[in-house]
Every structure is written in C-alpha cells, then in structure tokens.
Structure 1
C-alpha cells in the first residue's frame, strides 16, 4: 500500500463482504469526530455507538446538520465511567473499534490499562503505531512507539516490533522491512541502544521475531534512503527500503510524528494496537480526512 486512498478502498472491499464493524466513540462532543464517524458510516465501514454527554454530542452534531436520532447514544457524563462502558461495548462484539473523542489520551488509557480490562491481552504490550503518507516516498511508513511506552527495555522493544509487523501485514505488506533507529550504523559498547538493536537484529535473523526483515542499528537516512545507504556502504534487506521505523524512546517517536506532519506535510494516523481491538487515537489537530483514514486502517486491523 502506498496511499491512504488505497487503504480506504481495501477497507471498503474487505468490510463490504462482512458488514460494518461496531465503532464505539467515547466523548463524542467534537464536531470533526462526529463528521468523520458519519462519513465512515456512509462508506459502509462502521455502525457507530456514541458514549458520553448527550447534550454536548447533540450540540456538536447540530452544528454540522447531523441527526443523531437513529444513532445509538449511551448517556454518561463521567469520563472514566464512559470509557469503561465503551470498552465493554467494544468487547461485546467480535469485530469492533474503540475511538477516542474529546477526552485526554492519558485519562482514557488509564482506564484501558486497568487490571482486568477486557481490552488487554495477557502477555501482549499495548503500543502506538503512526502511519505516514509522505510526498516523494513510494510507500507508507510506520513509526513506533511514539505514544505509549516511554523508555522500552529489550523485551518491550520486541513487543513494539511485533505489533508494528502485525499492522503492516494487516495493511497488505506480507514481509515488511524493519529499521531499528539509532544515531549511527555501527555497534558501540558506549552506546547501549546500538547493542540492544544488534541483539534484536540477530533475533530477527534467526527467526525469533517472525514475518519481517529486521536490521539495526541504522540511522534514519540510511534506513529510508537508498542513496544514503549506498554512500555509507550499508547493505542488507532493510537499508534504504525500510517500511517500519522503530525508535528507542517515546520522545523520538513523538517528535518524528509531529515533525513529519508539521514540516513535511505528511498525512498521518495514529492507533494503539496490541489489545483485543484497535484503538483510534486521533489528535484534535487532525483533519476529518485523517480521522476517516484512521477508522479505515482500524477496520483492517480488526479483521474487516
């Protein structure tokens, strides 16, 4: 897949044969969220359920001329309770998506991460994956983790990689190329991140991490530019052709996400994955189009 338009078309094709997925939007009092969800409904992707303050939701919808009378709306003004209800509604279905509305990510995720949460899968890590369409790059680029795991250890990095590979495969990339980012392409004992990434690369080489080519440490330019890789003499299956960029700290991933959008004009979506169902975590600055893209991606991740 090279564009979000292709992903939308793929989602419509996949979902069309099975019927729309349940989408539960918590805190549905943002007009752009409601417009995006309504557009996704009209595309045949989702059957929405809203959980939150009815008065605020109807006010936001009224400004768009949307009629919520035929949309299921569960009234709950306490946000933590609203998230718990939304999680239960999602988990009651076999094909479903949870979507964040106008509620802080931290507040929502505190509930999602609670002990006993039905959204979590034992032994799996919840991680954030950003997906980017960048002008001049002939493929979609995934970046992780820029939103969930602050300073991952070796085991958590493996979880981050496995989740990102699963996303890429759901989007049609059967064997993605994973670059483990660092400042250099050489392993230095004085730079622990390069040591860890060398270990992970060997694990990938020996099949301990399946379904992808994995290499690192690699600097960003070597990971995505064949010219830079050639100039620096770095070969292999990943250098210059990476589909997935794995960062060592949340600040790097978060900064990369915002830099690509702010400076490079990238089209981007962000999701939390690794649970029983995908979670759409759009930003308030996202366009309606971005939010529709995110819903389409989530439909593919949820199995159509």
Structure 2
C-alpha cells in the first residue's frame, strides 16, 4: 500500500528552521546507521559526531558512497568504547543528542544508565513511540513500550511527564493523556485502573504538569470519540487522546506493534528522561521514519535549549 507521511514531514520541516543539533552517533558501522546520520545531517536536522572504529566507518562510507568528510570522527576501537565515548561527549556538552548506530541497544543504554559516568537525571528513563497512523488526523504517542517492564506508580508519573514534555516540544498545546486499562471504571481487582485514578489526582495536585490527564480509559474510548459518546464518558481526553500510556511494557509493545502491522502505522521513537534525547533507530526503519526520529529528538533538544535560556535569563 502506498503511504504518505504528511505528519512526519511536518515535523521534519520544522527542523529546517533550526540550527543542526550536535549529535554523538555511537558505532555507525553499517549502511543503515551511517546513512541515517548522513541523511539527517544533509537535511539540516543534526550535526553528527561519528564515534567508532575509524577504519570500519570509512570503509562503510566508501562502499555505499556516503560523504562523511564534513563530519567529526572520533576513533574508538569497538562498540563498548564507542558507546562510552558517545555518552561522555553528551556529559561534556559537546553533543546535545545521542544516536544509536550498529551496536546493541543494551550496549548503548548500559553506558547511558551507568551511575558514575552516564546520563541519568532525577527522572525515570522511558521510551516513546510517535506513531503515524493513517486513520488518525494526528500523530499519537505510545509510552512506554520499550524500557520499563513493570513500571511503578512513581515510574508512570515520570513516564507521563517525559511524554508531555516531548509532546509540548512537538507543538501539542496541553497534550491530552489517556491512561489505558481494560476498562474505564476504577476496579480494585485491576491494579492499573487504581493507578490511573491516582495519576489523575497527582496531576490535579501539580505532581504532573503541562497536560490534561484522564484514566482509566479503554483504548476504544481513548481514541474514538463515538465510542466515548456511546459509553457516555464525560471527559476532555476521551476520544481525543494525544498520548496513550500503557499499563506495562507488554501491553505497550503489543499496542505499538499492532498499530504498525495491522493499521499500517509508522513508528518513530526516542528515549526520554536522560540528560539528552536518545535516538533509537532500527535497520528495518524506512528513511522517513529514521528522519522523523531524528527530527523529534532535535525538537526536544531545541526546547531544552530554550528552557535553559529562560532559566539563565531569570
């Protein structure tokens, strides 16, 4: 089926108005990861710092006719060293984003979460998919479907705040957050419904800010206004959610993959809650999806720049 990508294209176009964001690319030693970094650089989204074995990176560039001469190359002997150096560049402020190359996600995230030398903050690190679903008129965010297996109530508070901050950077005014469960009523026998209600009260008490929360909501009445009206759900979120918060990783992962493989959706994704946004691309990603992931991270990084400037000015 032929697809258009107007939603992702709008995000990518917004980045053309910004200065390219310095980005440490960890171990880009295959065509997919190196091409993704180069194409994002040629679009003006990021300024790559290529970190990894110089011989391998230059060999891949030569084989696939990729011009890497404009970009800094930091020679590191193997993937573990490349991950550590990429994280160090981010810690030192030389890179404002981190991008996964052809190493395992666990290798990169292991360097990110290391207590003494990593990129942890007071926030829980989480992942968000930004889904381009053809039947919807907007991108929709699914979180967390990749990192937190059984998130606690406090973890979910951080996961939601991370997603709200990202959505705000993408241009969502007061993003609407649906906290998902199997039903829309609170049932003590279903813990996710109780946690959803608690999270909504936490938002009332300003422990979560910047978005409009409701839950528990079932998936149908979170994204379909007719379903919400039939069930007589009086809510500013029901039927119009921008962010879908899964009760756990299994549910989130199945939701994201169902949208991809059964609803023909594309899924760009980044890691949030660290000192810098982290781009996790896959070899299976299309060019547009890779660029969209880079664009989303760049918009988040730009928002952080602006917030830091406001703090300094005040």
TM class, shorter-chain normalised? over 0.9
| Residues 94, 25 of structure 1: alpha-carbon distance in 2 compared, 3 angstrom cutoff | closer
Within a 5 Å distance, the mapping from 1:148-297 to structure 2 comes to 148-297=147-296
Q: Given that residues 40 and 292 in structure 1 are in contact (C-alpha distance below 8 angstroms), is that contact kept between their aligned partners in structure 2?
A: yes
CA 1:243–1:96: 2 relative to 1, 3 Å: same
Mapping for residues 83-122 of structure 1, pairs under 5 Å: 83-93=83-93, 96-121=96-121
Decide whether the 8 Å contact of 1:22 with 1:90 is kept in 2: no
Moved over 4 A (4+): none
Deviation at 1:70, TM superposition (A): 3.5
Please name the residue that 1:144 is paired with: 143
Mapped partners of 1:211, 1:142: distance in 2: 15
The offset of 1:208, in angstroms, is 2.9
TM-score after normalising by structure 2: 0.91
RMSD of equivalent CA atoms = 1.5
Q: Deviations over 1:130-179 (max 9, x none)?
A: 10111120111001111111101111110000000000000011200000
Of the structure 1 ranges 124-133 and 90-99, higher mean CA displacement relative to structure 2 is found in: 90-99
Unmatched 5+ stretches in structure 2: 1-5, 304-314
Q: Displacement, 1:95?
A: 6.0
* Aligned pairs, number: 298
- Greater shift in the superposed pair: 175-184 or 204-213: 204-213
What does the per-residue CA deviation read over 1:197-237, in whole Å, with 9 as the maximum and x for residues that have no partner? 11111222343321111011110011000011111111211
Deviation at 1:38, TM superposition (A): 1.5
Counterpart for residue 9 of structure 1:
13
Structure 1: where are the runs of 5+ without partners? none
CA distance in 1, matches of 2:64, 2:262: 31
**TM-score, length basis structure 1:** 0.93
- Give the SS at the match of 1:296: helix
1:302 aligns with 301
1:182·1:247 contact (CA, 8 Å) conserved in 2?
A: yes
Q: In the TM superposition, what is the alpha-carbon distance from 1:194 to its structure 2 partner?
A: 0.7
